[in-house]
Structure formats: C-alpha cells, structure tokens
Structure 1
Amino acid sequence: MEPLGYDELLLIYDKIHNVHDRKSFYQASKQILKVACIHLRELDIGFPDLLKDVLPSSPNMVKFKCNKRLSNTYMELLARSCPNLRDLRLGIEEDLDPHKAAYELGEFDFNDDGLCVVVNACSRLNEVDLSGRLHVGDVGVASLLQSCTGLAYLNLSGCASITDELFKLIGKSWSLRHLCLGGCMVSDLGLEYIAKGNLRTCLQKLHMDKCDNISKNGISSLKQMKELTDLKLSNCGVNITDSEILALSSIKTLEYINLSWLIDAANISSSHMDSSSMEPSVVNLAGCKTLTSVGLCSFAHHPRLKYLSLFSCHDVSWKDVEYVVSTCKSLVYIGLSRRIKTPMPKEGFNMSYYHHNWRTIFWK
C-alpha cells in the first residue's frame, strides 16, 4: 500500500471537526505530511496552522493559494521555504475590518512588511492576487513591482489602502497584462498615470468595477491604451455617463466591455459600438435601466457581437430584441429581463433560429 499523500491527509483533516481530535491527527501525521510535501508543486490551503510543517517541506512549490487570514510570521515562512513561487493567490474570502483590535481578530493579517519579505525572496512571481487584503498598501505593492519585473497579473481589488501614487509606478510596468482594481480608491489622476505610462502598450485587461471616484477625465485617458481588449466599469457610480463612454469608442481593440449598473449611461454608449467604431464581441449592459429601444436597436447589424446581457433593462420591447437578434449574424447569447415592455412571445421561449444559427435567450 502506498503512503498517504498531502491531498489525502488534508481531506481527512477537513473531515475532523473536534479541535482536540484535529490536534491529535496533526501530531500523528506530521512526519507523513512532511514526506508527502517534498514534491508538492501547488498548494491550496484553508488551514494556516498546517503551514509551519507544510511550507518548510515544499521547496519545489510554484503556486500557493490561501484565502484565510495570514500573519507576517507565515509570510516570512513562505519566503524562506518557497523561493521558486510563480503564482501567489492570497485573495481573501472574508471581510477584514482594519479598525478592529488585534484581540478581536486574533493575530493581524499580513501588511506591507510581510508582503515585502515574500516578493524580495520570490522575484520570479508572475501572477499575484492580493484582493481584500486591507493592510496592504503602496509600499508593499511597490516592492512587488520593483522585485518581480515579469509580473503579468495583479489583482488589488478591495485593497483600500493604496493611493494614486502607486498607480504612477504601476503605469511604468512593461510586463502587466491583466490588472484588477475593483473597489480601489483610484481617481482620474491614477487612471492618467496608468494610461500615459509604459503600461499603455502592454495592458490587455483592466477591471475597475465599483471604482466610483473616476469620471470623464480618467475615462478619456484610457483612449491611449493600445492593446486593451477587456474593460470592466460596472457599478462605477453616477460620474460615468454616455459622454464618458463615448470617449472609449476610439479603442478599436476592445473585445469585452462590461458597463453593467451604470445607471446614467446607456444609449449613446451603445450606439457607438457599431461597425463604424469599436466592435466588441461581448457587451454587458445589465442594470443600465435608462437603455431604450433606440439604444438597443443601435446594435443591429453588429458584425462581431456574440454575447449581449440586458438583465434589468426594462425599457426595451420584444420587437426590438427580435430585430437585433435577426440582424447580428454572430450573436449566440442574449440575456433579457422578464419585465421588458412586451413579454416573451410564449412560455419557455429560449431559442431563436436566424441565419442558420441558433441563439440562446436567457430570461431572468
């Protein structure tokens, strides 16, 4: 019989709910665990207490993922034990309140000091997710960018401590391909730093959902992004209107655009996504409640449109939907609200056949 591996031991540990039983199992299997981790390449762990034995035994690890609170002590251990890391996924599931006292949270979540130790030791990091880590600020992320010059993916969503000064450094990157800033305090100035630096020639995906401090000047600066294919601006507040979205029409490279829940942007933005300007294949306008029949019909004859989401857009009619579906030869999916002006023609109608292709219609 072969010895138990790391995955099997972790599954057993996960099934034990009694704290004392867990401790006993941990002590009994500690030596087996160390041996099992020698060849471990990837680790997704939900029990940080195991790290003090797992990490020192995992010198070949290239991907580490943990969505629980981690102290600076564990970050230092990670830095000492796993210098070959390429992929660091530390996006956290729970909401951390930076104002809570240490005795309420247990040991503090890691901060810039802990992050700096890791990135200085693991300079070949290619992908890093720090979403929701509230104690991470400009200093830690700046150290990451300076040490890991091949960084291609960076997720800072929910990192409320970062400022526009950091975006000046991010804008200088030659390597970033995918940047997530959801819920960050980025302003128009920060966006200008991003759009005017080296990053404008390499960034392909920019996700800025729930960034409600940006407005016309910041959005207009994105016109300088030469390789941008994927842009997410959902839930960015009332400062983004049709005139701001109109400024994006000159970005010919856009393939995916998410404008969902921009309550003051609808008709002009959609009318400038036709064949005369940008031609995205995926458009999400869910929650844009001011979208009218005029705006929807502007998508007719769109040459590349494959996916169109109109959930919670109630001011359009089934007749307009049919017109768009029948004229967009590439369309394969459209999402609709059951509260549109004219109800769907018959119960359960969820497929449409045009130009020798089926279109899926999803109602919600």
Structure 2
Amino acid sequence: MEKTREDLVGKMKKKKKLVRMVLYIGLVLVLGMVIYQVRSAYLRAEAAKAAEAKKQAQEEARRKEEARKKKNEWVKKDGKSYYYGEDGKVVIGRYIQEKKIYYTDDTGAVVRTVDGEKPMVAITYDDGPSQFTDDFAQLFKKHDSAATFFEVGNRMNEFEEEAKTITEAYCELANHTYTHQNLTRVSVSGMHNQLNKCDRKLREFGEQAETILVRPPEGAVNETVKKNIHAPIILWSVDTLDWKSRNAESVYRKATTNIKDGDIILMHSLYESTLKASKRIVPELIDQGYQLVTVTDLAQFRGGLKNGEKYFDIKPVESEKEDQKSQDETTTTEEEKTTEEL
C-alpha cells in the first residue's frame, strides 16, 4: 500500500514535469513567433524605406536631368508653351526674350506675346475704376491685348472687385493721383502725398512694376511737377474727347483714324459710350495691324522711359532717328537759304 502511494506520487511529479516542459516549449515557440513577426515587420519597413528613398533619388535624378535638358528651352505641353530658364525651372510672370515680351499664367503657360519688331499702340483709360472696368479688362483679355488704366486712388475701394480684374487680365495699373488733383495747384508735399498714396493703393491691387507710371489729371504739368514726379509722365497723342462727346461713334472714329505706330490713345473708363466704342476700336486697330499693349511694353524696345520726362507717344527708335534727320535737313536747308539771301 505504501509502495503504491509512492508510485502514484512519482507519476504525478513526472506528469507535472512534463506539463511544465510542454508549457516552456510552447512559450518558447510563441516568443519565437513574436520575435519573428516583429523582425519581419521591421525588415519590411526598412525595405519600404529603402524603396521609397530609391524612388525619390530616381525622381530627383529625373528632375535634374529634365531641368538640364530644358535649361533655356521652350517646351510644348497640351498645346501650351512654357519656357525653362537658366535654373531649369519654368518662368512665371512677365519676361523678355530677345525682341519679345511674354506673359504667363500662374503655371508658366504663355497667355500673351508682344513682338517688339511689329507696330503697336497703347490704349489708355483715365479716372477709373468704375462699374465698367471689368468689361474693359475682359475686352482686352478676349483679344489677347492689354491697356493701361490710370486710376484714381480713392476710387479703388469703392470698385474693389472691378479694380482687381485689371492685373488679372494682364493689363497695367498706373497713377492718376489719389483724388484726381491738378498737381500744378498744390504744394510739393501735397503732390508727393497724392502720388504716394495712389501708388500704395495700386500695389494693393496687384501692380508690381518697380516704377508706376503717372498721368497728371488734365495733363497739367509744369517745371515743378516735372522735377517732383519720380516716374515717367505719360500724356497722349490721340485725344478721343470721349468725356465731352459721350458719343460712341465719334470716339470710335477718333481712335481709329490716322493712327500711327507708337500712338498713345486717351479715353476714360467712366462712360458706357466709351465701352461701346472700345468694343469696336480694339478689333479694328488689330485689323489695321497694331498690337494693343501697355505703355510700359510700348516703350520696352524703344529706348525705355525716364523719370520726370513727358511722353506724348513712343515711336520706334528708327522713326525717331528719321524724324531727327528730317528736322536736321530742314534746318540745314533753311540755313543755306538764309546764306544765299545774304
């Protein structure tokens, strides 16, 4: 009986030992599987990182190679033209290449081109913005053309949305003083205040030119004004008198008859009759062979603009030389005639 009991205890000890061994082996196997899974996940993550790094390196190499190939090169995509500059990046905004001026949208796609070797005219509008400003801007955008808008600063907030459309249509904002003040009737400090306040307002609405053009109200300029306007003074060679006639037909005739390369045409954006006339003027001048450009673009390849100087028109450089030659010949002829008479 005692022996049987000992045998039973011995068997139970062996069984417990076996259970502990099985549990130990199971635990080792589970731990092994966990370690294996963790290690596998780590290796997969590292492999994914390496693959992504390799992909990025390949993409960077591709971009560099593409940039190298496209450096100073035109590229056509989906029917649109893009220019890649010296740094291999697409050029955005207004830029000049050889004898042409290019304007792009925000992606760098060219939306308008000005050929410096072809005839051009600058149409200008004073006294805005107004309820018609957006219509004027869209008219020029529709015809791949541009105009210069000499705006009155204190009207900008009143017609805020309309004013924004000017630069959005790749037209030019310019200074017509802050309150439409005749500059010959104010002090020098008053003049600076009028011009500086207007400049600040124009920049708020997107004008980015380093020097903003100025047209004094009424075209009133004296020596004091010339000395104190630190910008080109833009007047006009063709006055449509739209403010006076308020007649679309009259404005149309004046703006399309005997127009010459380099003319600066004066109108006002306040009148519906002027808008009506402009809808005929723009296509008519294009049909006559003129590019319709901003004053800044008109001057780009014609000697540029100087601060404090008055400009009634901006002729091609060769035309200016011919005019000077003609004047010199006339002077010489008159001198010879005088000598003969003596």
Asked whether the two chains share a fold, i.e. TM above 0.5, the reply is no
TM-score range relative to shorter protein:
under 0.3
TM (norm. structure 1) is: 0.23
- Bigger RCO (CA 8 Å, 6+ sep): 2
**Rg larger in structure:** 2
Q: Normalized per residue, which structure has more helix? A: 2
